[in-house]
Structure 1
Amino acid sequence: MYRGWVETEMTITEKNIIVNSALLNREVTCTLLMPDEHDLTEPLSLLLLNDGQELENLQIKTTLEQLYNTNRIKPVLVVAPHAGEDRLQEYGVAGHPDFKKRGSRADAYTQFIITGLLPQIKAETGIDDFELTAYAGSSLGGLSAFDIAWNNSAVFDKVGVFSGSFWWRSRDLGKAYTEADRIMHSVIRNTTGKPNLKFWLQTGTKDETTDRNKNGIIDSIDDTIDLIKELETKGYTRPADIQYVEVVGGNHDTATWAKAMPKFLMWAFGR
C-alpha cells in the first residue's frame, strides 16, 4: 500500500554530476534533485530542465518539497543541465539557425540530450524506464526544450515552456519579414504527422513591451498564442493536449517563472 506524503516529509537529495560531451566540446554540469529512495513507493518520473544554473532562483527544491508534502505530485527526478558560454548557439531550433545565425549548435545539443545525457541518467540512477518523461525550459531554454521534445516524441511525453522565445525568426524585422518567418511555427506546420505530446505554455503580461504588428498585444503572448493555433491545426486540443497560463503582471524573469512552476509541476506530474 502506498504511504502518503501528507504524513511523511519527503527528503530531496541534491547533487551535481559532470557529463563530458564531445558533441558540445565541454563538460556539462547537471544538477539532480531526487526524492530520497527510502521514501519512494511509486515509479519515478523524469523532468529535464534547461538552464540548470538557475535552479536556486527558480526555487525548484522548495516548490517540490511543498508539493510532495501536500500530496500534490508523484515522485519526479529533476535533471537540470547547466548552460555553457555557448548558450546562444546550443539553444534554439535544431537545423534552423535564426537570422543572426544563433542556434547553430542546437542540433549538437539535441544529440547531447538524447545520446549523452539520458543514458548517463539511467546509468547514474539504475532506472531504465521512467513512468513519464517531460522537458521544460524558460525563454530561449524553453524554445530548446520544445524543439527537442517535438522532434523526439518517442522519448518525451510532455513539454513545458515558460516565456518561450517563439519569436525566433529566420529574417530580421524590416527586411520583408512576415509572421511566416517564425522558425518554430514553421517547423510545426511542416512536420508530417502529429507527435504524441502534451504541452504547457506560459507567458507574462509584462514579458516585454515589443509589439511588432501594433495590435496592442505584446509579441511574447502573440507568438505563443499563434504557436497554439499551429498545434490546434495539427489536431491538438485545449485543454486535453494544451494548457496555457498567462500570468497577469508576470515579467520575463525567474521570479515569475518560480511562481508559475507549481502549476506546471502539478500539470505534468500531479495526482
Structure 2
Amino acid sequence: MWWSNAAARAFGVLLMAAALCARVHASGLHHERLPAAALSADGIAFTVHLPDGYDPARAVGYPVLYVNDGQDRDAVRLDATARALVASGRIVPIIVVSIAMPPDRMAAYGLSDRARGASVPGDSRAGPVGTQAHAYAEWIAQVLVPHIDRTYRTQDGPSGRTLLGWSLGGLQAFNMGWRYPDRFGRIGAFSPSLWLPADRSSPQAAGRTRIAHRWVDADAPPAGVRWWLSVGTHEETDDRDGDGINDALDDVMELALGGDAEGVAAMPLRGLAQHRLSIAVDPAVPSSADADVVVWRLQDGRHTQEDWARMLPALLSWAFATGRQDPPR
C-alpha cells in the first residue's frame, strides 16, 4: 500500500509548517562530540534534537531515535518530518540523536561478533567492509547510549530506543539489533546493504555467503527486537540469481521470508519468518502494524536520500505512534 498523492500533498504542508518551527526552535539542537579512540583521534560528532517543549523533569522519559549517517539529516528531512508528525499528533515527542559518520565509513559500518569482541568483515568491489565494525558498535552501546541517558530525560531500556540507518548504515543498524538487544528494541533499515558477502568470487558465491542471511539461517533472532525493513522497488539493476528481481529487493525479502521467498529454492536459507517471527509486508497503516518484522516496499524507490526521506514518515509512525503499547519483552 502506497501513500496517495493527496496524502503526500497534505504531508508536504505539514513539513513546511514544521520547517518554520525549526527556525524558531533552533535551541533544540545540541551539537556534541565524544571520544572514540579506536575510530577517530577527534572523536565522533553527533547532534541531539530535542522536541519542542522538552521538559527535563518530565515524569515519563522521551523515546530516543538514534540515526546513523547523521550528516544526512537535512537531506532526508529528519527534523522537519519528526516535527510535522508530532504536531499532527501521529507520533509522540521524541529525542533524535543524529550520529555523524566516522572518518572511515566503510570500515565502521558493518557486522560484528559481540561475544568474540571482533569485527566480521565482508568483501566488496571497493575492498573490505566493516573492519572496525566492532569498535563502532561498542562505541554506540557503551559510550553514546549511556551518555544520552545520563544527559537527557530518556526512556530507559531497549524498548525506549530505536536505531535507524540507510545503505551501509542500515546494515550497521541490523548488526546492533542482532548483537545488542539489551540496547535497542527497534531497528529501522532503509535500503540496507544486506548483499555483503564473505566471498564474492562469483555471483553465486556472493549470494550463498551473504553474512547477515547466514546469521539468520544459523541462529534464532534475539527476543523482543522489532524490525522495520524498507526497500525501493527500483533500487538497482543487478540480479545475481536471474529471478527478475533486483538484488536489493531480493536481499530484504529473503532475510524476512527465507531463501525461497520469491519462488527460487536454489538457496533455501531460513529467514526471520522461519524462526516464527510474524511478518507484515506493506501494511496499509504502518502505525498499527504489530508484527515482529515489517517489510515496507517503496514503489519506484531508488537508492537515494530523496527516497529515504519518503520512507521516513512510515518508519516514524510505526516506531513512535501515539498511544501505542508494545508487547512485553
Q: Same fold (TM over 0.5)?
A: yes
Higher strand proportion (structure 1 or 2): 1
| Inter-CA distance 175–265: structure 2 relative to 1 (3 Å threshold) | closer
Q: Is 2:265 the counterpart of 1:248?
A: no
2:47 aligned partner, one-letter code: T
Report matched runs for 1:57-206 at 5 Å. 57-94=75-112, 95-99=119-123, 100-125=127-152, 127=154, 129=156, 132-174=160-202, 177=205, 179-192=207-220, 194-206=222-234
Alignment of 1:17 with 2:45, yes or no, is no
Q: Does 1:269 align with 2:320?
A: yes
Q: Are 1:37 and 2:54 an aligned pair?
A: yes
Q: Contact 1:88/1:102 (CA < 8 Å) preserved in 2?
A: yes
Residue 272 (structure 2) pairs with residue 231 (structure 1)? yes
SS in structure 1 of the partner of residue 35 of structure 2: strand
Distance 1:187 1:93 in 2: 10
Separation of aligned partners in 2, 1:126 and 1:171: 45
CA 78–136 in structure 1, closer or farther in 2 if over 3 Å, else same: same
Residue aligned with 1:37, SS? coil
State how many pairs are aligned.
263
3-state SS of the aligned residue for 1:206? coil
1:53–1:252: structure 2 CA closer, same or farther, 3 Å change rule?
A: same
Tell me the distance in 1 between the aligned counterparts of 2:311 and 2:234: 14
Unaligned stretches of 5+ in structure 2? 1-20, 113-118, 258-270, 281-290, 323-329
CA RMSD of aligned residues (A): 2.1
**Are residues 160 and 176 of structure 1, via their aligned partners in 2, closer, same or farther at CA, if it must alter by over 3 Å?**
closer
Structure 1 residue identity aligned to 2:296: V
| Paired residues of 1:24 and 1:112 also in contact (CA < 8 A) | no
**Residue type at the aligned position of 1:97:** P
Match of 1:220 among 245, 248, 256: 248
Give the TM-score normalised by the residue count of structure 2.
0.75
Higher relative contact order (CA 8 A, sep 6+): 1
**SS of corresponding position for 1:47:** strand
Instruction: Report the alpha carbon displacement of residue 70 of structure 1 after superposing the two structures with TM.
Output: 0.5
Return closer, same or farther for 1:69/1:161 CA change in 2, 3 Å cut-off: same
Task: Report the identity percentage.
Answer: 28
Shift of 1:196: 1.7
Deviates more, 1:43-52 or 1:189-198: 189-198
Conservation of the 8 A alpha-carbon contact between 2:190 and 2:231: yes
Counterpart residue type for residue 297 of structure 2 = E
Deviation larger for 221-230 or 237-246: 237-246
Given that 1:210 and 1:219 are in contact with CA atoms closer than 8 Å, whether structure 2 keeps it comes out as yes
Q: Which amino acid aligns with 1:54?
A: D
TM-score normalised by the chain length of structure 1: 0.90
Q: 1:68 to 1:216 in 2, by over 3 A?
A: same
Which shifted more, 193-202 or 110-119?
Answer: 193-202
Contact 1:166 1:182 in 2 (8 A): yes
> What amino acid does structure 1 have at the position aligned with 2:308?
W
Partners of 2:155 and 2:91 in 1: CA distance: 21
